[in-house]
Amino acid sequence: REPYEFLMSLLVFGHRNPDTDAICSALAYAEYLRRSTRPDAVAACCGPPNQRTEFVLRRAGLQAPRLVMDVRPQVEDICRREIVTASLGDSFHDAYRRMKDGDLRAIPVVDPHRRVVGVLSVLDLMDLFFRDSGNATRARTVATSLQTMCDVLGGSYQHALEPDQRDELLVMVGAMSAEGFTARMEAYPNHRLVVVCGDRPTIQLPAIEHGVRALVITGGFKLSAGLVELAKARKVSVVLSPFDTVNTTLRLKSSQFIDPVVDTDVLTLPAKATAAEVRGAVERSTQPVFPVVGDDGVLVGLAFKSDVLNPPRPQLVLVDHNELAQAVAGADESEIVEVLDHHRLGGGLKSTQPIRFVNEPVGSTCTLVARQFRGAGLEPGPAIALCMASGIISDTLHLRSPTTTDIDRDMLAWLEPLCGEDLVAYAREFFEVGSALRSKATAEVIREDCKEFTEHGVRFSISQIEEMGFELFWERKDDLRQALEEFARRQGLDFAALLVTDVVSNGSVLLLSRESEAWEEINYPRLDRGLYELKNVVSRKKQLLPLVSQVLAGA
């Protein structure tokens, strides 16, 4: 999976199961766009190059396009990576300060291994601060430790006893007469009391004698030496605060542990899920933020609802195809800004804005790319020139296919001196390389340059391979038929077909996974079950597809 920064470039894609023309036109057109209007253009592919294409890339000294199987943004692509977190045992003060510094209204709460245990929001914190205001005892209760109190105050100790112990403390302010304070103090358990007072020995002494948990001296004052000794004897901790009594009391309230208000029933989002996959759950949730976790449960980022519901849309240029069924996964959720193709118009492609759409009846998409270079007065380097020439040679069977036009011949003639190659000898080498029947497993053969179509309500695929003769096909015919049947069943197709073209005789054989009675009307010899001889047929788009459409129309 490529970094999301790459996905936000302009991606130039050929079709799935790409052939040489798809790969080469993507590379060449991305180069053209970089040199003309879009310096961020990047060639990509949604399938690995076949052996013949690899031969071209090696000969030209070019890297294959980046392999991207899905352009839909994953949650990890759109989440915020630089995040602040809280942990159980953190104080209100610390958690709120992190939220404020990060301009966040909620943060994830994690354990020591950064696994998510919940989410803490500002509203949760406010509930912690103001809850139970009608109950005097609960309103003055602070679940914390003396050390946390001291840290929040930025204070110091004159005496400390078990400062890290977690306690449910009751905060009292000694702001009344000594008699009234003493009477009220004795109504509460002494081991839970924290008394806040300034430089008032008449409050300090009875509090120490009562054996309170801690005495907090405000205003920067200190306890006298005699009272410190008495505090030690009565096991009373003494904390010094630099703040006045009001601000000290507020800070003591903010030293509470966040634990009681952490929402532990939270929706976390898998980092590898696409935004589309989690959109429904996020839309229904009332959570303020969504922790994003890896497969190991460890926090990797934080997503907001708007991130998931309205993720950035990748920009795509489609070359050598115009049907969404043949495009990279996620193309239907992307912004398609341009199409450059030489096939029939397919279904499903829509745009919200006008786009540049070039679709011409030539033999190769690389022909159209070469014409763009020449028309703009841009001379391609030898590598890109050979790349385009290879696409033309591949798709026109070196100008022998019936799809070949004068434009293809003209562009190949323009490219030849720029390539630094004898294209006649090069074409011979090209077709000798990479026999799919010689080098690939049966299942891989039928995926070679495989395209899916829908005609007259029938969904099917046609794969095409070029071979030097049919000898290997006859040896593997039965295995290929079985693989086609399995492929059609697994993909939910009405049938799957394999067109095997002999570049020497300029003819083909067609193998079908299933044939209906309509196939009896086909005007080509039937050699075996689901097998037809198609003399002088070498083009899937111009010869075979119209034939199949005609057969299906009469079914």
- Exposure of 211 in the CB half-sphere (CA atoms within 13 A): 6
State residue 346's pLDDT score: 78
State the Cα–Cα distance between residues 244 and 374, nearest whole angstrom: 81
Give the 3-state DSSP-derived string for 137-157, with helices as H, strands as E and coil as C: HHHCEEEEEHHHHHHHHCCEE
State the Cα–Cα distance between residues 194 and 197, nearest whole angstrom: 10
Where is pLDDT greater, at 336 or 351? 336
Residue 2's pLDDT band, with cuts at 50, 70 and 90, is low
Pick the most confident of 89-93, 168-172, 409-413.
409-413
State the Cα–Cα distance between residues 166 and 89, nearest whole angstrom: 9
User: Which residues are registered as beta bridge partners of 462?
Assistant: 451, 497
State the Cα–Cα distance between residues 16 and 346, nearest whole angstrom: 15
Q: How many CB atoms lie within 10 A of CB 479?
A: 13
Among 36, 37, 44, which Cα is nearest to 11's? 44
State residue 521's pLDDT score: 75
Residue 82's pLDDT band, with cuts at 50, 70 and 90, is confident
Element (H, E) at 196: strand 193-197
State the Cα–Cα distance between residues 533 and 531, nearest whole angstrom: 7
State the Cα–Cα distance between residues 436 and 448, nearest whole angstrom: 8
State the Cα–Cα distance between residues 218 and 140, nearest whole angstrom: 18
Tell me how far the alpha carbon of residue 34 is from its chain's centroid: 25
353-361: long-range pairs with CB below 8 Å, 24+: 357/322, 359/322, 360/407, 361/403, 361/405
Is-contact 453 460, C-beta < 8 A? Answer: yes
The residue count of the chain comes to 555
Lowest average pLDDT, out of 148-162, 330-344, 361-375, 509-523, goes to: 509-523
Question: And the tokens for 388?
Answer: 């385009």
Name residues whose C-beta falls within 8 Å of residue 96's C-beta, 6 or more positions apart in sequence. Answer: 122, 125, 254
Question: And the tokens for 353?
Answer: 């804005």
State the Cα–Cα distance between residues 314 and 317, nearest whole angstrom: 10
Report, as an integer, the average pLDDT of 317-338: 92
Tell me how far the alpha carbon of residue 224 is from its chain's centroid: 64
Calculate ∠ Cα 137-143-144, nearest 5°.
Answer: 140
| pLDDT tens sequence across 361-416 | 999 999 999 999 999 999 999 999 999 999 999 999 999 888 899 999 999 999 99
Name residues whose C-beta falls within 8 Å of residue 419's C-beta, 6 or more positions apart in sequence. Answer: 382, 385, 386, 389, 426
Residue 134's pLDDT band, with cuts at 50, 70 and 90, is low
3-state DSSP assignment of residue 84: coil
Query: Strand 193-197 and strand 214-217: pairing?
Result: parallel
- b/e for 363-379, b at 16 or more Cβ within 10 A? bbbbbbbbbbbeeeeee
State residue 4's pLDDT score: 59
State residue 3's pLDDT score: 55
- pLDDT at residue 350 greater than cutoff 90: no
Tell me how far the alpha carbon of residue 376 is from its chain's centroid: 36
| pLDDT tens sequence across 268-299 | 999 999 898 999 999 999 999 999 999 999 99
Tell me how far the alpha carbon of residue 365 is from its chain's centroid: 30
Question: And the tokens for 239?
Answer: 């904390």
- Exposure of 352 in the CB half-sphere (CA atoms within 13 A): 6
Where is pLDDT greater, at 127 or 68? 68
Question: And the tokens for 198?
Answer: 């300034």
Where is pLDDT greater, at 129 or 412? 412
State residue 438's pLDDT score: 86
Question: And the tokens for 363?
Answer: 């033999």
